[in-house]
Amino acid sequence: METGKRELEVLLEFSRAANAAVTVDSVLREIVKAVREGFGYDRAAIFLTDPANPSLMCGAIATDDRGRERPIPHICVDMNDDSRWAPVLEGKREYLLTEDAGRDIDLVLPSGKRVKHHVVVPLTTPQRLLGSIAADNAFTDQPITEAEAGTLLAFGRQAAVALQNVQLIEELRNSEERLRSLVTSLTETLYSVRIEGGSVTPSFYSPQLEHLTGFTPDEALKTPEFWRSVTHPEDRLKVDRARDELMKGRQLSLEYRIRHRNGEVKWVLDTPVPVESPGPWTDVNGSILDITDRKELEDRLRRAQRMETVGTLAGGVAHNFNNYLQIVMLQVGEAESLLQQHTAQEEEAVAQLRKAQSTLETTASLAKQLMAFGRKVEGARSDISLDELVARTLPLVQSSLGKSIRVEHLPDPDAAPVVADAAQMQQVLINLCINARDAMPAGGVITVRTQNVLMREHDRRRPPHFPPGEYVRLQVHDTGTGIDASVQERIFEPFFTTKPVGRGTGLGLAVTYTIVTEHGGWIDVESEPGKGTLFSIYLPSAEVSRQVAAAQAEAPPERIVLVVDPVEQQREHLASVLESLGVDVMTAEGVSDAMAIIWDAGERLDAVLCSIGLGGVDVAQLLESLQSDGTEAALIVTGERGEVRDREQLGVSRDITALTRPYTPAKVAEALHIPLETEQPVRHAGRRGHRIQPSGGG
């Protein structure tokens, strides 16, 4: 065989083997194999540069006199020690070829025989030196020519590229393993999505998604608008607004509800971070944390704090009751005396009794306020005037503040009404007043002020996820000791308090914050030690609240038809016919997956097309579950003519419709009561991709 042809075949064989190799060790073995067997050297060895010490090169692998491969980490070459290899490895010479290597570099076999013919070539890429190849003819004493050394040099360059590639692959694989381990250990669900043209396309969900939602990452990535489908319907507008803010490059942190696959409602904290993008889209990376337990705790804290507030007011209320009752007793006693003295004084006696009656009515009104406050029903919201609420509440709290504290009310005659729970807003005001009292042990002034505030699109006072428009600001300012900056960061944390033991539970401001945020507003605090504290609460005006409600109502509800069929071909065909009629379609293979979709779709579900091929028992179970859940969706049983049974045979009391093959658009439209037009618009193309796979499916 000609020398040039043999070398070419060696290079081709090595290239194929190196491309198939997936580890550094396997590439090293292919290199020494090519040097020894392909190029015909007696022995071959590879030395690799130490990443921590570039001047040090240690052995990786070598062959012995029988061609066996063995590691040689104990053999190292230090170029700082006047190594004969240094000119080659430093790039001053292309290769090192010695006629009497045993004399020049003290290369001696275990038998004592000197190695005469030895060659060293670098393993180098344009970027860096990876190591070297050393070869010799220790046993045959076959001379090594300059041409052979040049060929080995060319091979070394190809081998270096292959070695560098697999090193990079291993580094990437190790990095991915570390990242995967880190992601798996996190509590949060990590995600990456792209927002473009009003749509959100996910590209990654971490494994925690299944625990959070009941859906695997693979199921979610195959489902268009997956996250919107699991978001609670009442919170979708909030999430849509957040998406618009992200398109502007703003970072957000928002809380909202989602629905688990099993129907459970969960609260989540979503922290999306927009990434600069070169195109008309926005890439977003973020994390989602389950905060359901925290929300439940907040609810319990709110109820507990209401009782604490009632206890704080009890002394003041009892004082007012005592004063009123003393007046009533005096007035009634005086009336009785007048009546006893002379009948001519009847008119004055009647007037006194009328005064007593008025006082009793005032006392009864006070009692009703306290009782209503104590046994308040959650969520009773209506249009209220904050000024009127402040005017009713301050007399209640005044007696709890003490004589050394003066309360000023600065109303705004033009303040807009807000949609709020009056009892909860009363609780907020009382909490802030009591907090101000505790900050003024020597007395001072509490100023309560209301004012309309117009929040524009780029107003920095408005948090990004709140809509622009008219807000009503309620401020409570005290002239007390003020709050240190380090304490300000924690004042809204539950159970955090700077008061002595027994003087406070740390619930007041935490509950205040929760009530305000649940009313669609936010709270700011400004304070400096020795300069008092100003709490500012911003609530959307009733007009803004109605605009938000109208926007939610304007969005037409998505109407869905569910196709349940165990045979994929039949399921696909029927779904295609439905889409041609302009119907949004979801598909399921079995009963359990169908029930998960039904639970999620709720009132949006127009009809369920259930194949008799599921089996009579499964069909009856599905239809009976729909019936017991009270869904208004139409029930349609599909299958071959003669297979479809009536409701008595299926054991259900609700009316069902039969749809037999072939599933023509006309027959399907008739079953669903859809007017069949000449050209049907196809809405939401791709909706059929929103499928729930059976458990264990990909």
For the stretch 307-330, pLDDT in tens is 555 555 554 555 556 566 566 766
Q: Which range scores top for mean pLDDT: 102-106, 157-161, 198-202? A: 157-161
Confidence band, pLDDT 50/70/90 cuts, at residue 687: very low
Predicted local confidence at residue 373, as pLDDT: 44
Q: Does 513 have pLDDT greater than 80? A: yes
Average pLDDT taken over every residue of the chain: 78
End-to-end CA distance of the chain: 54
| pLDDT bucket at 258, cuts 50 / 70 / 90 | very high
Is residue 637 very low, low, confident or very high in pLDDT (cuts 50, 70, 90)? confident
- Determine which helix (DSSP H) or strand (DSSP E) holds 445, and give its type and residue range: strand 444-455
Give per-residue pLDDT as tens, 470-480: 999 999 999 99
pLDDT of residue 30 exceeding 60, the answer is: yes
132-155 pLDDT per residue, tens = 999 988 888 888 888 888 888 888
Q: What is the mean pLDDT of residues 487-509?
A: 64
Average pLDDT over residues 393-411: 87
- Per the model's pLDDT, the better-predicted residue between 186 and 199 turns out to be 199
Question: Which CATH superfamily, name and number, covers 560-689?
Answer: Response regulator (3.40.50.2300)
pLDDT greater at residue 598 or residue 26 = 26
- Answer for the pair 455, 468: CB distance below 8 angstroms, yes or no: yes
pLDDT score at 40: 87
Give the CA angle between residues 501, 398, 442 to the nearest 5°. Answer: 55
Q: What is the pLDDT confidence band of residue 680, given thresholds at 50, 70 and 90?
A: very low
609's CB contacts (< 8 A; 6+ apart) are 561, 562, 563, 564, 565, 574, 636, 638, 659
Q: Cα separation of 224 and 629, whole Å?
A: 27
Which residue reads 């697999």 in tokens?
166
Q: How far apart (Å, rounded) are the C-alpha atoms in residues 62 and 616?
A: 71
Confidence (pTM): 0.43
CATH topology agreement for domains 3-173 and 189-290: yes
Cβ atoms of 373 and 423 within 8 Å: the answer is yes
Give the pLDDT of residue 691. Answer: 39
Q: Is the pLDDT of residue 412 over 50?
A: yes
- Burial 522-546, CB ≥16 within 10 A → b, else e: bbeeebeeeebbebbbbbbbbebbe
In this prediction, residue 445 carries a pLDDT of 93
The least confident of 284-288, 366-370, 620-624 is 366-370
Q: Which CATH architecture has domain 189-290?
A: 2-Layer Sandwich (3.30)
Q: Which CATH architecture has domain 3-173?
A: 2-Layer Sandwich (3.30)
What is the predicted pLDDT for the residue at 685?
A: 31
**Best-predicted range by mean pLDDT among 173-177, 183-187, 408-412?**
408-412
Q: Which comes out higher in pLDDT, residue 524 or 180?
A: 524
3-12, 33-42, 189-198, 393-402: which range is least confident on average?
3-12
Q: Is the pLDDT of residue 684 over 50?
A: no
Domain ranges of the chain: 3-173, 189-290, 376-555, 560-689
118 near 108, Cβ under 8 Å?
Answer: no
Give the mean model confidence (pLDDT) for residues 404-422. Answer: 91
502-297-389-437 Cα dihedral, nearest 10 degrees: 20
Can you read off the two tokens belonging to residue 288? 């989602």
pLDDT of residue 616: 56
Most confident of 308-322, 580-594, 668-682: 580-594
Looking at residue 688, its pLDDT comes to: 38
Distance, C-alpha 674 to centroid of its chain: 39
Query: Residue 143 corresponds to which tokens in the numbers above?
Result: 């001379």
**For residues 244-261, average pLDDT:** 86
Percent of the residues in the chain that have a pLDDT greater than 70, as a whole number: 72
The amino acid occupying position 361 is E
Dihedral over Cα of 49, 53, 56, 58: its sign:
negative
pLDDT at residue 534 above 90? Answer: yes
State residue 304's pLDDT score: 57
CATH class of 376-555: alpha beta
